[in-house]
Structure 1
Amino acid sequence: MNAPTEGQLALATQLADGGRRDCGAIAYVDARAYTSAERHAAEQARIFSRVPLVIAPSALLPENSMAVPHDGFGKPLLITRDKQGAAHVFLNVCRHRGTRLVEGCYAVKSPRLVCPYHAWSYALDGRLVGLPRADTFPGLDKTEHGLKRLPTHEAGGLIWFAFDESAKFAEAETLARDFEAFDLAGQHLFRRRSHDVRANWKLVMDAFLEGYHIQRLHAGTIAPFFKDGISTADSIGPHQRSAVGREAALAALSSSDWATLRSAITYTYQMFPGAVLVVSPDYINLMVLMPQAPDRVLVEDFMLIPAAPATEKALAHWEKSWDLLDGGVFAAEDFRACELGQQGLASGAIERLTLGTLELGIRQFHDAVEARLRATQEP
């Protein structure tokens, strides 16, 4: 097991002391932040179109010469791993006549990607490597007709990309040091599912920025695993890192052994703007949020486990965990609560949301959104 970072150990120490988030007064969030069409358009133009975004775990492409189509961010994208093992995100568009290159949403394994229209073919690093009747394209320079690559960065077990050519990935590298402690890059992708949630994307992020709801909303599922209020959090740039103590292992919180601490703590990373990594003691969930409208977001959930199940018993164990988390806790509880919240906010019944001191991570997240909107506002 890899060594933990100082930040991870600091959160564990705070949990051992009873948990802490900097206290303050009650805070508020304007209800229009979740319902305004103009606000949604601004977030798309000034945040999602400009900043680095998590698109998938590295485990989505476990072998070289693989490709996965991806449509969640509003443009046809293609995630690939070339024959040297490097990850890329391309526009899924043939450079000949603009045809979609790869259909569907499942991984394909092939040394070349062939356009279904005129059979132009591309290597997994984006190079145009072949075209029928090349003699009918006199003077064509194949090096100028490769797939359109978007800025891409793989670090610590996650694949990031950006639509903005000037995007920087320094914070992805900082986060990667934490993820290396969980061996995120070495995990096996067990299951993957997309949820169409009828709620603003920020309501989903809010749900993972506070532990106040765990004993209430999740009373019949995961609440018995956690001690109410034993949580803490800090920040890494605009991203937040939080930790919750597990009820059955609270005594282990004072340990200095990383394996022991891992059994006692669930770590969660809220990566700005819209990705969540929940690191439980024995498996990891990555959720990627893709806003579609002011009141609709696609959430892709990936469940990662240490290794592929080797026996029927192991398979049944992981299936049970997957059904509990993805279908029960996330879909039936968290996402459903978000949809109910969206319905209430759309009614105009309240002008602002009220946040207690256990929910201040939500205000911090909204402050980051607001700061980004101001910083990138057109003159």
Structure 2
Amino acid sequence: MNALTLGQRTLAQEIANGTVRAPGRITHVVASAYISPDRYAAERAALFDALPQVIAPSALLAPGSAVPHDGFGRPLLLTRDADGIAHVFLNVCQHRGTRLVEGAEPVCAKLLVCPYHAWTYRLDGSLKAMPRPETFPGLDKGEFGLRELPSVEAGGLIWVLPNPPRNGEGDREAVEGARHMNVGSCVEPPPSASPPPPRSGEDFADALTLGHDFAALGLPHLHLFARRTHDVAANWKLIHDAFLESYHVLRLHSGSIGPFFKDGVTSGDTVGPHRRSAVGRAAEMGDLDDLPALRRTVTFTYTLFPNAVVIFSPDYVNLMVLMPQGEGRTLVEDFMLIPEPPTTDKARDHWQRSWDLLDGQVFSQEDFRAAELGQQGLASGAITQVTLGTLETGIRAFHDEVESRIGL
């Protein structure tokens, strides 16, 4: 495990020194931000169709595997090729448009074979073979590879631009530009280092920066223990709101994780549009270079704009990927990542209890349920705005970013 990055160390030091940022003031968010179909359409166009987003942890993709993914509104396919490179393709055969791989679970396959006419692709997307090639005179197999989307693997997460412009050559330039930025396991550059090169289309530079943070906490080397997708009847921003403030923790989570945060102090900052925060027990903090000890007293949480949350608990990590389906419905895929595969019944039972607590109770029955109840209340018209106190300033900052992106 590497040392903390400068940004992480600064937040931890603020907690230890009691020098966290000023508390702010009362602010508001209009209720229509959560319930308006027009507002959701604007967010879909400006955010989810235009920005790089987290799609999965690196640990989901073993070498020589493929994973179908439909949560972004298009049939996608994640693969890791023979060279260990992660790709995101449209899950569509280039012959007649047939879906290549069905389901949602990882499959082990050196080749991808279309079930209709058996056109066969390598995991890097190139077309390897087709039956009766003589019936396609003059066809250049190099022009019939799977359509790849721009993606970057950084610090244990895979980011993708799910809806790039359909402009042929521009797509290839964007994919190549992103490919040169892949940093599955990275070391933070010195302050004098040049910024990463820009690429055609959207810029993945923030993903690269955050990748250094995640590598420092060991995320690229973790094992995927469990994953589950929740269908939450709430606006995507209501779900994010829960992870942008600590005001609710001792109340909503009083019967689960609340006692662990009884004396917690929170500090936070931003990396581009993304939010980085830490909550810790200052009285118990010791040497900031003793990472295992620090992880027992400080929890780092990242809100990755616009669609993911990463929570670093003392000995495991939860990644939640938010996939809005409408103004009042969001799919949330929760991944639990642990240091190594469990090899004994005792170890499996330990991690299963952690999974049952977080995914089965804290998230699904508490955070997600609170979001659903909030959606119901806002849709009733009982209030025209949500009121935020000084412990909830992260929510207002997040909504400021959303509104700036959609031109409000």
TM-score by length of 1: 0.96
Is 1:41 paired with 2:45? no
1:251 shift after superposition:
1.7
Pick aligned residue for 2:253 from 202, 214, 218: 218
Distance 2:359 2:290 in 1: 30
Letter in 1 for 2:248: H
Give the structure 2 partner of residue 304 of structure 1. 337
Q: What is the letter of the counterpart of residue 398 of structure 2? A: F
Partner residue in 1 for 2:175: none
Letter aligned with residue 132 of structure 1? P
What secondary structure is seen at the aligned counterpart in 2 of 1:2?
Answer: coil
| Matches for 1:250-329 after TM superposition, within 5 Å | 250-253=283-286, 255-329=288-362
CA contact (8 A) 1:201 1:297 kept: yes
Contact 1:76 1:93 in 2 (8 A): yes
> For 1:374, what is the secondary structure of its paired residue?
coil
Instruction: Name which of 236, 239, 245 aligns with 1:204.
Output: 239
CA distance in 2 between counterparts of 1:106 and 1:256 reads: 39
Checking the alignment, whether the CA contact within 8 Å between 1:292 and 1:298 is kept in structure 2 is yes
Deviations 1:102-125 (A, max 9, x none): 000000111100000000010001
The amino acid across from 1:78 in the alignment is: L
3-state DSSP of counterpart to 1:203: helix
Matches of 2:143 and 2:264 in 1, distance apart?
A: 57
- Paired residues of 2:9 and 2:288 also in contact (CA < 8 A): no
Closer/same/farther in 2, CA of residues 265 and 19 from structure 1, 3 Å limit? farther
User: Does the CA contact (< 8 Å) of 1:152 and 1:161 recur in 2?
Assistant: yes
CA distance in 1, matches of 2:21, 2:390: 8
What is the CA distance between 1:14 and its match in structure 2? Answer: 1.3
* Alpha-carbon displacement from aligned partner over 1:93-141 (angstroms, at most 9, x marks no partner): 0000000110000001111000000000100010011100011001111
Question: Match for residue 133 of structure 1?
Answer: 132
Name the CA distance, whole Å, in 2 between partners of 1:17 and 1:218: 27
Asked if the contact 1:212–1:229 (Cα under 8 Å) also holds between the matched residues in 2, the reply is no
Matched, 1:238 2:285: no
Q: What is the aligned partner in structure 2 of residue 373 from structure 1?
A: 406
Q: Is there any run of 5+ residues in structure 2 with no aligned partner, and where?
A: 165-170, 172-200
Unaligned runs of 5+ in 1: none
Amino acid in the other structure paired with 2:245: E
Cα distance change, pair 82–255 in 1 and its aligned pair in 2 (3 A): closer
> Which AA in structure 1 matches 2:226?
R
Rounded to whole Å, the distance in 1 between the matches of 2:231 and 2:86 is 27
Kept in 2, the 8 Å contact 1:21–1:358? The answer is no
Which whole-Å CA distance do the structure 2 matches of 1:233 and 1:150 have between them? 32
User: Structure 2 CA distance, aligned partners of 1:340 and 1:18?
Assistant: 35
1: distance between equivalents of 2:381 and 2:99? 42
Per-residue Cα deviation, 1:15-39 (whole angstroms, up to 9, x for no partner)? 1134734322201001100000011
| Cα shift at 1:81 | 0.5
Question: What count of residue pairs does the alignment treat as equivalent?
Answer: 372
Residue by residue over 1:248-299, the C-alpha shift from the partner in whole angstroms, topping out at 9 and shown as x without a partner, is x842256443332122111000000010000011000000000001000000
**Conserved 8 A contact 1:215-1:228:** no
Structure 1 residues 38-117: aligned runs within 5 Å:
38-62=38-62, 64-117=63-116
Give 1:2's aligned residue: 2
Counterpart pick for 1:193 among 222, 228, 231: 228
What percentage of residue pairs aligned between the two structures are identical?
Answer: 62
Alpha carbons 1:19, 1:229 under 8 Å: kept: no
**Counterparts of 1:131 and 1:167 in 2: how far apart (Å)?**
35
CA–CA distance in structure 1, aligned partners of residues 287 and 122 of structure 2? 52
Q: Which amino acid aligns with 1:55?
A: I
Which amino acid counterpart does residue 348 of structure 2 have in structure 1?
L
- Name the stretch that deviates more: 14-23 or 323-332: 14-23
Shift of 1:231: 1.0
1:349 corresponding residue in structure 2: 382
Q: Quick check: 1:16–1:254 contact (8 Å CA) kept in 2?
A: no
Q: Which amino acid aligns with 2:280?
A: G
Query: Where in structure 1 do 4 or more consecutive aligned residues deviate above 4 Å?
Result: 253-256
The CA distance in 2 between the partners of 1:253 and 1:340, in whole Å, is: 40
Residues 51-101 of structure 1 show CA distances to partners (whole Å, capped at 9, x for unaligned) of 000000000013x21100000000000011011000010000000000011
Contact kept, 8 Å, 2:3 with 2:289, in 1: the verdict is no
Q: Secondary structure at the match of 1:117?
A: coil
Give a deviation string over 1:170-204, Cα, whole Å, max 9, x none. Answer: 00000011001111110000000000000000000
The letter of the residue matching 1:109 is C
Cα offset, 1:343, TM superposition: 0.1
1:332 pairs with 2:365:
yes
Letter in 2 for 1:371: S
Tell me which amino acid in the other structure corresponds to 2:50. Answer: R
- Is residue 179 of structure 1 aligned with residue 178 of structure 2? no
Hey, what's the Cα distance between the residues in 2 that align with 1:245 and 1:16?
A: 8
CA–CA distance in structure 2, aligned partners of residues 318 and 258 of structure 1:
21
Aligned mates of 1:159, 1:251 — CA distance in 2? 34
Give, as a single letter, the amino acid of the residue that structure 1 aligns with 2:357.
L
- Pair 1:14-2:14 in alignment: yes
Paired with 1:70 and 1:356, the residues of 2 have a C-alpha distance of: 38
